[in-house]
Amino acid sequence: MKIVTLLENTARRPGLAAARGLSLYVETARHKVLFDMGPDASFLDNARALGIDLSAVDAAVLSHGHSDHGGGLAAFCGVNSRARIYLRREALGAYYAVLPGEEPRYIGLPDLGGLADRFSFTGELERLDGELTLFSAVEDNPSLRAAAPKLQEKTGEGFRPDGFAHEQHLLVEENGKAALLAGCGHLGIVNILRAAKRRLGRTPDVVFSGFHLFELDPEAPESEALLAATAEELAEGDTIYYTGHCTGDRAYARLKEALGDRLRPMDCGAPAEL
């Protein structure tokens, strides 16, 4: 199994584009999978530079309904006419960043009506085959949740806190190895990891995910408690964690103290092989 970060907020390798968002490529003996498509078409240029043929992708997964992960979906469909696109129906909702005294800012997906025939809407647990499993049912411990209050959904009655029913995660299993891929981990990487353990019966060998800890208030006691609990849980076992995008430098440094070499950056272009 090979996992390559096609796009992330930073590009340390010359010749690759960076953009605030995420796109990952997974290759097994049976599948070529695209997990998220970043905010625009930048991931396509990076894939070409890395020698990855996205026209050969047979399954595309959208982790949630925010534009920094699905803004490039139409661009992907422009180069790939065959892959099914797996997403939660809720991903097509109206999602906003809402801050006091400011106009609500739309952060949901662009209009994708012309691509509806490519969509496969997923339930809380979808086992696509022996290698690929999608899940969204996460037992939510609010104290381990990372999402900021500003993330909201617009309904007919107005704005309400986003419950992230549109978020899903991918388990990839091959040759006795297992990888967990998540987008931003809004419900908390610890909550998501626990859900993955229940489905696998063990801890995944590797995790690729943003941890959405970049907005934590360093002065708030609950922020320190969340960081401490996350570090403690991730330090157990021998899982390797690749993270970036929405994790934040402060949180990364704090987790690095606990995990050492088991915490690694999701650098654009650097492959991980299991």
pLDDT value of residue 122: 98
Q: CA-CA distance, 245 to 60, in Å (whole number)?
A: 20
State what percent of residues in the chain have pLDDT above 90.
89
Taking residues 199-224, report their average pLDDT. 92
Q: How many helices (H) and strands (E) does the chain have?
A: 6, 18
β partners of residue 271: 4
How far apart, in whole angstroms, are the C-alpha atoms of residue 166 and residue 64?
Answer: 5
Q: Which structural domain range is residue 246 located in?
A: 2-260
Q: Does 254 fall in a domain?
A: yes
Strand partners, 206: 179, 240
CA distances from 1 to 82, 128, 158, 163, 205 (A): 22, 17, 45, 32, 11
CB atoms within 10 A of CB 95: 23
pLDDT given at position 148 = 82
pLDDT tens readout for residues 92-125: 999 999 999 999 999 999 999 899 999 999 999 9
274 in any annotated domain: no
For residue 142, pLDDT beyond 90: no
User: Tens of pLDDT along 236-249?
Assistant: 999 999 999 999 99
**Under DSSP, is residue 97 helix (H, G, I), strand (E, B) or coil?**
strand
Q: How buried is 158 (Cβ within 10 angstroms: 0-12 exposed, 13-18 middle, 19+ buried)? A: exposed
Q: Report the alpha-carbon distance of residue 173 to residue 205 in Å, rounded.
A: 10
Q: How far apart are CA 92 and CA 108, in angstroms?
A: 8
Give how many domains the chain has, as a whole number. 1
Structure tokens at 137: 């049912």
Residues 6+ away with beta carbon under 8 Å from 228: none
203 belongs to a structural domain: yes
For residue 271, being part of any structural domain is answered with no
What's residue 150's pLDDT?
94
Question: Tokens at residue 19, please?
Answer: 């953009």
Beta bridge partners of 171: 133, 180
Q: Is residue 273 part of a domain?
A: no
As a whole number of angstroms, the distance between CA 226 and CA 159 comes to 26
Tell whether 267 is covered by a domain.
no
**Contact criterion met (CB below 8 Å) for 242 and 181:** no
Residues 212-226: what's their mean pLDDT?
88
Average pLDDT, the chain: 95
- Mean local confidence (pLDDT), 83-92: 98
C-alpha span between 173 and 165 (Å, rounded): 24
Pair 74, 115: CB distance under 8 Å: yes
3-class secondary structure, 259: helix
Q: Is pLDDT at 24 greater than 90 in this prediction?
A: yes
Task: Look up the CATH number of the domain holding residue 191.
Answer: 3.60.15.10
Looking at residue 118, what is its pLDDT?
97
pLDDT above 90 for 265: yes
User: Is the residue at 242 inside a domain?
Assistant: yes
What is the per-residue pLDDT for 49? 96
Strand extents, DSSP E, the chain: 2-7, 23-27, 32-35, 59-61, 84-87, 95-97, 105-106, 119-121, 125-127, 132-135, 151-155, 158-161, 169-174, 177-181, 206-208, 240-243, 263-265, 271-273
127 lies in some domain = yes
Question: Residue 220 pLDDT > 90, yes or no?
Answer: no
